């Protein structure tokens, strides 16, 4: 074979191996944008994932007893967005599931978010009736109100309710969940779970709710099955990518990468902690399997004031499986530390003003690079539910990739 032919074959192979896009992370953020690029633009995408599986924190699998469990805690899909629901429905059918959560307060398991049913279970009936009347008169039926607003109410009965819910539901739960008191966190933490002036025990009020019939991992496998998508598991992005701060360029395996990189991980790690570390909270799950049809009354029971764990999840309530065994997990919040096994998975950005200010420094640094896009809960340093991650990914594709050329 002549040297000319060899060079031609080598250049052809090299051209085949180049990627138009590199996506760091195989959770919903990275997988949705990769699927759109591959299917609608017919471009080649490389997904780099440091874990040994796709799906990010939504990864689920069958354990030794045949129970489908969520490795990183319960994931119940819910959204108000029809376009998000329709998009995800391309990859799964659904179990019609409406999530209901109980919370242990004063040795009673009662519904949460706090609603009229909860009120009557925890307060003497005359007191509960008086509070219900005032709630309906001042706020209205089937409405919701922030705990913080109730705490500031001029009405002593409504303030009593606000103080009670704050102390019994949020205060100690926050100390366990965030490692900080509520007074140190942004008000949005409390406002995520308001008081509902109704007898609707559903945890979510969204129009679309469900559990993927065959699990989340099946969704990701279908999403990423396009031949234009290549996935490298067990791969740290820093082992194959290099960021040149001076030149504002990305190098992939020592060659300049001219395409776009969608980054869904921690932005401080991307830029070698130039401004310091962004704090995240992690979780530890202790799974237990017993020979019993069910262990508890609901899929999730919260424990704000008792025990070291914050909640227990029993997965058969979600999946509707039939088995003589059941598996549940105890959930223990902890600080994130990527150097320590079992603490090395970041779950939540910590909603604290100085943390957002630090994040802004990293976000602005990405603007110096024409081909770096941040996407997802970690990369955007926002407490985003699954549906909002998917909506952000669809928007980024439509506005920042497809229309940007």
pLDDT-based confidence at residue 3 (cuts at 50, 70, 90): very low
Helix (H) or strand (E) holding 313: strand 311-314
List, in order of start, the domains of the chain with CATH numbers.
3-54+224-279+350-402 (3.40.50.720), 112-196 (no CATH)
Residue with tokens 């990189």: 261
The pLDDT, as a whole number, for residue 7 is 38
Burial class (CB in 10 A: 0-12, 13-18, 19+), 156: exposed
> Does the pLDDT at position 403 exceed 80?
no
Task: Judge contact between 213 and 92, C-beta under 8 A.
Answer: yes
Neighbours of 126 (CB within 10 A): 8
319-356 pLDDT, tens digit per residue, is 999 999 999 999 999 999 999 999 999 999 998 889 99
405 has pLDDT over 60: no
Q: Which of 31-40, 189-198, 229-238 has the lowest mean pLDDT?
A: 189-198
CA end-to-end distance (rounded Å), the chain: 40
Q: Which residue has the tokens 């960021």?
A: 243
Specify the pLDDT at position 10: 40
According to DSSP, the residues that pair with 314 across neighbouring strands are: 328
Identify the bridge partners of residue 68 per DSSP, sorted by sequence position: 62
Between CA 189 and CA 150 the distance in angstroms is 15
How is residue 312 annotated by DSSP? Answer: E
In contact, 203 and 112? CB cutoff 8 Å: yes
Q: Are 250 and 242 in contact (CB under 8 A)?
A: yes
Angle of the 125-138 helix axis to the 156-165 helix axis, nearest 10: 110
Q: pLDDT-based confidence at 404, cuts 50/70/90?
A: low
pTM: 0.92
Identify the pLDDT of residue 193.
81
Residue 46 has what pLDDT? Answer: 98
Q: What tokens appear for 193 in the block?
A: 């779970």
* pLDDT digit string, tens, across residues 83-119: 999 999 999 999 999 999 999 999 999 999 999 999 9
């Amino acid at each position: 074979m002549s040297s000319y032919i060899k060079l031609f074959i080598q250049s052809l192979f090299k051209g085949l191996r180049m990627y138009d896009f590199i996506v760091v992370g195989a959770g919903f953020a990275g997988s949705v944008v990769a699927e759109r690029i591959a299917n609608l633009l017919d471009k080649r995408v490389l997904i780099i994932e440091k874990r040994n599986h796709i799906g990010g924190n939504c990864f689920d699998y069958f354990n030794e007893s045949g129970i489908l469990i969520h490795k990183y805690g319960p994931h119940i899909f819910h959204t108000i967005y029809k376009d998000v629901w329709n998009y995800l429905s391309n990859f799964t059918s659904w179990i019609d599931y409406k999530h209901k959560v109980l919370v242990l307060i004063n040795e009673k398991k009662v519904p949460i978010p706090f609603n009229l049913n909860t009120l009557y279970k925890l307060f003497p009936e005359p007191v509960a009736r008086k509070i219900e009347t005032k709630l309906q008169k001042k706020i209205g039926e089937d409405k919701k109100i922030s705990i913080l607003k109730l705490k500031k109410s001029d009405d002593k009965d409504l303030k009593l309710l606000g103080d009670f819910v704050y102390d019994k539901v949020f205060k100690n739960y926050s100390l366990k969940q965030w490692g900080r008191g509520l007074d140190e966190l942004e008000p949005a933490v409390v406002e995520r779970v308001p008081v509902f002036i109704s007898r609707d025990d559903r945890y979510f009020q969204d129009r679309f709710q469900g559990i993927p019939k065959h699990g989340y991992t099946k969704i990701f496998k279908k999403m990423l099955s396009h031949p234009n998508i290549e996935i490298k598991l067990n791969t740290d992005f820093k082992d194959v990518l290099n960021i040149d701060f001076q030149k504002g360029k990305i190098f992939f395996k020592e060659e300049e990468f001219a395409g776009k990189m969608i980054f869904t991980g921690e932005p401080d790690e991307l830029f070698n902690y130039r401004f310091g570390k962004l704090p995240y909270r992690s979780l530890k799950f202790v799974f237990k399997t017993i020979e019993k049809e069910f262990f508890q009354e609901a899929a999730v029971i919260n424990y704000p004031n008792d025990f070291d764990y914050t909640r227990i999840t029993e997965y058969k309530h979600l999946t509707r499986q039939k088995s003589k065994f059941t598996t549940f997990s105890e959930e223990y919040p902890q600080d994130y530390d990527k150097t320590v096994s079992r603490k090395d998975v970041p779950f939540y950005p910590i909603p604290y003003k100085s943390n957002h200010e630090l994040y802004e420094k990293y976000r602005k640094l990405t603007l110096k690079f024409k081909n770096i896009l941040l996407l997802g809960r970690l990369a955007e340093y926002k407490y985003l539910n699954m549906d909002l991650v998917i909506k952000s990914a669809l928007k980024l594709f439509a506005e920042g990739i497809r229309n940007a050329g």
